[in-house]
């Protein structure tokens, strides 16, 4: 029974589950409302603005995923019982997934709040309920479910420890949370201490009451969504430190209480291989957010060592797997030589990751130096891949995963993957490389910092053709196995999410140590031709004339065909392009009207792969105009300097203008008016019917 309930919790929507647990009122509670009161409610709604009637509950994420991970990790590491501390470490993935799911998926905001002045909201009851679930599953030996429930409990218990969750929401609320997330390394907390908790609900109320004393000061320090104060306001820093310490102690004490009188699970690692994680080059997530992957590696039989100094031959003698998240400082020539010698010594594996170029801080050239040195054909592009339809465009949530039969079984059990701001990959030779994960059709590349993108697959935000963009690939170089991903997909954050990133990571590290005669990638080209930008001769296009359009297309398997599709006014046509003596492809287009000429290139290679580049645009002047210049860049470009996306316009000189914000009016406003009118009509009808009934 316990396992079944927790399984329901994990896999059903939050509303249904919370109703089953009596944490929200059932529909039957509404049936007790008499007709008079119902009439009064409807009449009151009639006079409310439609925006209030149709509004959604305010999103009230508290500490943020980074801080929840910080709190739970500090609490788990501070448990005084060594056996239970090791058990929490072993099941830390379940704990952190439980701690993140209320924000990421359930978004049951009433359970995240408690207002001590009014007694509003449900965090004390939610924390107590999940405490009981965790304790019951521990008692029954349902360890995965119990640790997951413990993580959920920690979220609801710790949210009211932040002052902004103890009173009304305002615009500066998320700014304070972001400020905390960005300063986690700056907090100096006293050593945590565990204590016996006699009443979980009372603990949460007490924490909220303590935190609430700072609400007004924080409200004043963060007037809007862009506010920052921790760097400049010592009082806010001190208040936050006290509340963060209180949250760690509350979480630690609850974890401790869950274990009282219960024997811990037996933890037995059989460590047959050695993995080293590179921390010596400013690598991504090495500031405390790769701890969960150490446990995952242990579970797959790897003893884990952390490399904090430049590599020497002695460091790698007994190492089987080298894990290198995106480096932010370069590898010396002596280090590269050491890595090359180690990689060639037999049955070794390397896992390398990148990070999108939305910031000048990132530099995929450092991991590319390693890839080039070891003889790999895989490279990280200097770009950033985004997609449409996700919470934020830099979250790449993928559900169309290649079959295990097409990925040497690496995608076995993988139904979905999420990637944060990845680079795309390109290949100096596609044949030895096996791509295993591609972007979504709505995916697109951006070039936000120099140098330019080496290989453009799709840099147009048009909702099409993004599935051409490779994001992960593997390769064998004799007995060396190489795995490259456009971003670190196995950090602590990824362990918290309900995607299958960690399943994929487990498959990869198992492949890394498997027999070299099994699961070998085929030597086959699986990437379409490389298509360059389109240009014209003459450069100025005038109606009632002809223009020759050119494009460079190359492929390791040879180019089988290149077609150009164009639209100009009411004319649309597809033409076959021919190869010129210079190696480019060309076709003549008749310009029968003025306006925008839109061009798409479709090319196939000798291995049957197809690539598409769209859309290139050219301005065609009227026949009496001779000064119009052409635009030969892709139609849509996305440019940001921080982790946000903004549409920019492209000029004929190839420069980009400042990001602009647009507003939309018309159909939405009309729909809103009709919706309000419809509501009013329905209300009047209901009132009349009720009056007649009485």
Residues 382-433: tens digit of each pLDDT: 999 999 998 889 999 999 999 999 999 999 999 999 999 999 999 999 999 9
The band of 685, judged by pLDDT with boundaries at 50, 70 and 90, is low
Both 358 and 242 in one domain: the answer is no
Both 84 and 189 in one domain: the answer is yes
Average pLDDT over residues 166-179: 91
Q: How far is residue 692's CA from residue 673's CA, in Å, rounded to a whole number? A: 29
Residue 212 predicted with pLDDT over 80: yes
Which tokens belong to 336?
């590269």
Give the residues across from 474 on adjacent strands: 434, 483
Of 52-56, 371-375, 652-656, 689-693, the range with the highest mean pLDDT is 371-375
Residue 482 predicted with pLDDT over 90: yes
**How big is the CA angle at 266 (ends 263 and 86), to the nearest 5 degrees?**
85
The pLDDT assigned to 677 comes to 53
Residue 20 predicted with pLDDT over 50: no
Both 373 and 489 in one domain: the answer is yes
Count of structural domains within the chain: 3
The band of 38, judged by pLDDT with boundaries at 50, 70 and 90, is very low
Q: How far is residue 390's CA from residue 398's CA, in Å, rounded to a whole number? A: 10
- Residues 226-238 have pLDDT tens digits of 999 999 999 999 9
Q: How far is residue 550's CA from residue 538's CA, in Å, rounded to a whole number? A: 11
Both 538 and 633 in one domain: the answer is yes
Which tokens belong to 603?
């090319």
Residue 23 predicted with pLDDT over 70: no
Q: How far is residue 671's CA from residue 26's CA, in Å, rounded to a whole number? A: 32
Whether residue 242 lies inside any domain: the answer is yes
Q: Residue 404 class from Cβ within 10 Å (0-12 exposed, 13-18 middle, 19+ buried)?
A: middle
Whether residue 165 lies inside any domain: the answer is yes
- Intra-chain end-to-end CA distance of the chain, in Å: 48
Average pLDDT over residues 76-82: 95
Residue 686 predicted with pLDDT over 90: no
If one counts every other C-beta atom within 10 angstroms of the C-beta of residue 192, the result is 18
Task: Report helix angle 200-212 to 234-259, nearest 10.
Answer: 180
The band of 359, judged by pLDDT with boundaries at 50, 70 and 90, is confident
If one counts every other C-beta atom within 10 angstroms of the C-beta of residue 21, the result is 16
Which tokens belong to 230?
């921790």
Both 411 and 475 in one domain: the answer is yes
Residue 450 predicted with pLDDT over 80: yes
Nearest to 489 by CA among 596, 356, 652, 303: 356
List for the chain the helix, strand, coil content (%; round to 5): 40, 20, 45
Residue 647 predicted with pLDDT over 60: no
Give the three-state DSSP class for 646. Answer: coil
Give the three-state DSSP class for 568. Answer: strand
Both 226 and 336 in one domain: the answer is no
- What are the backbone dihedrals phi and psi of residue 90, each rounded to the nearest 5 degrees, phi first? -65, -40
Structural domain ending residue among the three candidates 259, 281, 316: 259
Quote the percentage of the chain above a pLDDT of 70.
Answer: 81
* Chain mean position to CA 658: 26
- What are the backbone dihedrals phi and psi of residue 591, each rounded to the nearest 5 degrees, phi first? -95, 95
The band of 680, judged by pLDDT with boundaries at 50, 70 and 90, is low
Give the residues across from 572 on adjacent strands: 567
Average pLDDT over residues 12-27: 32
Both 349 and 429 in one domain: the answer is yes
The band of 268, judged by pLDDT with boundaries at 50, 70 and 90, is confident
Whether residue 17 lies inside any domain: the answer is no
Q: Residue 349 class from Cβ within 10 Å (0-12 exposed, 13-18 middle, 19+ buried)?
A: buried
Q: How far is residue 409's CA from residue 482's CA, in Å, rounded to a whole number? A: 15
Which tokens belong to 34?
């008499």
The pLDDT assigned to 641 comes to 34
Peptide bond between residue 255 and the one before it cis (omega within 30 degrees of 0) = no
Whether residue 454 lies inside any domain: the answer is no
Structural domain ending residue among the three candidates 456, 483, 513: 513
Q: How far is residue 261's CA from residue 19's CA, in Å, rounded to a whole number? A: 31
The pLDDT assigned to 163 comes to 94
The band of 682, judged by pLDDT with boundaries at 50, 70 and 90, is low
Nearest to 166 by CA among 204, 125, 129: 204
Whether residue 463 lies inside any domain: the answer is no
Nearest to 476 by CA among 510, 506, 431, 437: 431
* Chain mean position to CA 285: 14
Both 239 and 280 in one domain: the answer is no
How are beta strands 610-621 and 595-605 bridged, if at all?
antiparallel
**How big is the CA angle at 369 (ends 364 and 373), to the nearest 5 degrees?**
150
Average pLDDT for the chain: 84
The answer to whether residues 479 and 515 touch, using CB atoms and an 8 Å cutoff, is no
Whether residue 680 lies inside any domain: the answer is no
Both 177 and 317 in one domain: the answer is no
Nearest to 611 by CA among 467, 439, 482, 507: 467
Name the least confident of 307-316, 356-365, 497-506, 529-538.
356-365
Q: How far is residue 554's CA from residue 427's CA, in Å, rounded to a whole number? A: 13
Nearest to 214 by CA among 190, 184, 185, 242: 242
The answer to whether residues 326 and 284 touch, using CB atoms and an 8 Å cutoff, is yes
Give the three-state DSSP class for 374. Answer: coil
Average pLDDT over residues 623-641: 47
The pLDDT assigned to 678 comes to 56
Q: How far is residue 296's CA from residue 277's CA, in Å, rounded to a whole number? A: 13
Average pLDDT over residues 567-573: 96
- CATH code assigned at 339: 3.40.50.880
The pLDDT assigned to 64 comes to 64
Name the least confident of 19-33, 508-522, 596-610.
19-33
The pLDDT assigned to 384 comes to 96
The band of 314, judged by pLDDT with boundaries at 50, 70 and 90, is very high
- What are the backbone dihedrals phi and psi of residue 522, each rounded to the nearest 5 degrees, phi first? -70, 155
Residue 207 predicted with pLDDT over 80: yes
Q: How far is residue 580's CA from residue 572's CA, in Å, rounded to a whole number? A: 24
Average pLDDT over residues 286-305: 93
Higher pLDDT, 662 or 634: 634
Structural domain ending residue among the three candidates 488, 513, 538: 513
The pLDDT assigned to 26 comes to 32
Average pLDDT over residues 636-651: 35
Q: How far is residue 45's CA from residue 436's CA, in Å, rounded to a whole number? A: 54
Q: Would you list the DSSP string of 128-195? A: HHHHHHHHHHHHHT-HHHHHHHHHHHHHHHHGGGSGGGSS---TTHHHHHHHHHTTGGG--PPPP---
Which tokens belong to 532?
């360059």
Residue 465 predicted with pLDDT over 50: yes
Nearest to 376 by CA among 473, 487, 514: 473
The answer to whether residues 130 and 118 touch, using CB atoms and an 8 Å cutoff, is no
Average pLDDT over residues 121-140: 96
Nearest to 306 by CA among 320, 318, 322, 317: 322
Whether residue 478 lies inside any domain: the answer is yes
The pLDDT assigned to 681 comes to 54
Whether residue 111 lies inside any domain: the answer is yes
Both 362 and 243 in one domain: the answer is no
Average pLDDT over residues 135-159: 96
Helix/strand number for the chain, H first, E second: 19, 26
How are beta strands 273-278 and 302-307 bridged, if at all?
parallel
DSSP symbol at 628? P
- CATH code assigned at 228: 1.10.575.10
Average pLDDT over residues 207-236: 94
Name the least confident of 91-100, 318-327, 378-387, 509-518.
91-100
Both 115 and 147 in one domain: the answer is yes
Higher pLDDT, 259 or 70: 259
The pLDDT assigned to 106 comes to 87
- CATH code assigned at 539: 2.60.40.10
Both 499 and 571 in one domain: the answer is no
Higher pLDDT, 140 or 625: 140
Which residue range is the domain that position 248 belongs to? Answer: 45-259
The pLDDT assigned to 377 comes to 98
């Amino acid at each position: 029974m316990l396992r079944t309930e927790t399984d329901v919790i994990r896999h059903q929507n939050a509303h249904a589950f919370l109703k089953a647990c009596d944490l929200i009122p059932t529909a039957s509670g509404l049936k007790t409302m008499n007709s008079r009161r119902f009439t009064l409610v409807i009449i009151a709604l009639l006079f409310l603005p439609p925006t209030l009637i149709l509004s959604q509950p305010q999103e009230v994420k508290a500490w943020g995923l980074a801080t929840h991970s910080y709190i739970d990790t500090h609490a788990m590491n501070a448990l005084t019982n060594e056996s239970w501390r090791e058990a929490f470490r072993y099941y830390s993935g379940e704990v952190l997934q439980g701690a993140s799911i209320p924000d990421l998926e359930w978004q049951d905001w009433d359970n995240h709040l408690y207002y001590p002045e009014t007694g509003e909201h449900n965090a004390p009851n939610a924390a107590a309920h999940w405490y009981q679930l965790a304790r019951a599953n521990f008692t029954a030996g349902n360890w995965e479910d119990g640790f997951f429930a413990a993580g959920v409990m920690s979220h609801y218990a710790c949210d009211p420890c932040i002052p902004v969750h103890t009173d009304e929401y305002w615009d500066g609320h998320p700014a304070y949370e972001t400020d905390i997330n960005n300063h986690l390394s700056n907090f100096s907390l006293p050593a945590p201490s565990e204590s016996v908790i006699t009443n979980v609900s009372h603990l949460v109320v007490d924490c909220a009451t303590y935190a609430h004393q700072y609400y007004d000061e924080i409200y004043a320090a963060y007037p809007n969504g862009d506010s920052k104060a921790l760097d400049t306001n010592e009082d806010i820093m001190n208040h936050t430190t006290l509340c963060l310490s209180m949250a760690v102690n509350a979480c630690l004490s609850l974890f401790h209480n869950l274990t009282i009188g219960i024997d811990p699970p037996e933890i037995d690692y059989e460590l047959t291989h050695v993995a080293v994680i590179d921390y010596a080059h400013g690598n991504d997530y090495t500031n405390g957010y790769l701890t969960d992957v150490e446990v995952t590696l242990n579970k797959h039989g790897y003893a884990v060592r952390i490399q904090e100094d430049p590599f020497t031959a002695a460091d790698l003698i007994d190492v089987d797997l080298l894990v290198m998240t995106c480096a932010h400082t370069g590898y010396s020539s002596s280090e590269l030589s050491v890595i090359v010698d180690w990689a060639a010594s037999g049955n070794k594996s390397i896992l390398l990751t990148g990070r999108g170029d939305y910031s000048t801080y990132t530099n995929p050239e450092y991991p590319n130096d390693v890839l080039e040195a070891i003889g790999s054909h895989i490279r990280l592009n200097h770009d950033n891949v985004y997609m449409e339809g996700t919470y934020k465009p830099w979250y790449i949530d993928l559900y169309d995963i290649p079959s295990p039969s097409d990925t040497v079984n690496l995608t076995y059990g993988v139904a979905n993957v999420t990637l944060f701001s990845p680079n795309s990959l390109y290949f100096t030779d596609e044949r030895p490389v096996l791509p295993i994960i591609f972007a979504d059709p709505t995916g697109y590349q951006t070039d936000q910092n120099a140098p330019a993108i080496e290989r453009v697959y799709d840099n147009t935000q048009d909702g099409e053709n993004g599935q051409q963009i490779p994001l992960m690939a593997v390769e064998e170089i004799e007995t060396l196995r190489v795995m490259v991903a456009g971003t670190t997909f196995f950090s602590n954050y990824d362990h918290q999410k309900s995607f299958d990133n960690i399943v994929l990571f487990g498959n990869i590290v198992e492949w890394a140590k498997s027999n070299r005669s099994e699961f070998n990638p085929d030597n086959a080209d699986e990437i379409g031709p490389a298509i360059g930008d389109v240009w014209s001769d003459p450069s100025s296009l005038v109606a009632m004339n002809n223009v020759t359009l050119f494009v460079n297309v190359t492929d390791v398997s040879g180019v089988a065909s290149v077609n150009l599709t164009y639209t100009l006014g009411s004319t649309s046509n597809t033409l076959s392009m021919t190869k010129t003596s210079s190696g480019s492809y060309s076709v003549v287009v008749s310009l029968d009207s003025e306006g925008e000429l839109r061009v798409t290139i479709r090319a196939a290679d000798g291995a049957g792969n197809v690539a598409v580049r769209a859309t290139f645009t050219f301005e065609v002047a009227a026949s009496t105009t001779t000064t119009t210049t052409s635009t030969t860049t892709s139609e849509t470009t996305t440019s940001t300097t921080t982790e946000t996306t903004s549409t920019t316009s492209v000029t004929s000189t190839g420069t980009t203008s400042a990001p602009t914000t647009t507003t939309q009016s018309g159909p939405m406003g009309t729909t809103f008016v009709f919706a309000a009118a419809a509501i009013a009509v329905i209300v009047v009808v209901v009132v009349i019917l009720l009056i007649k009934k009485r």
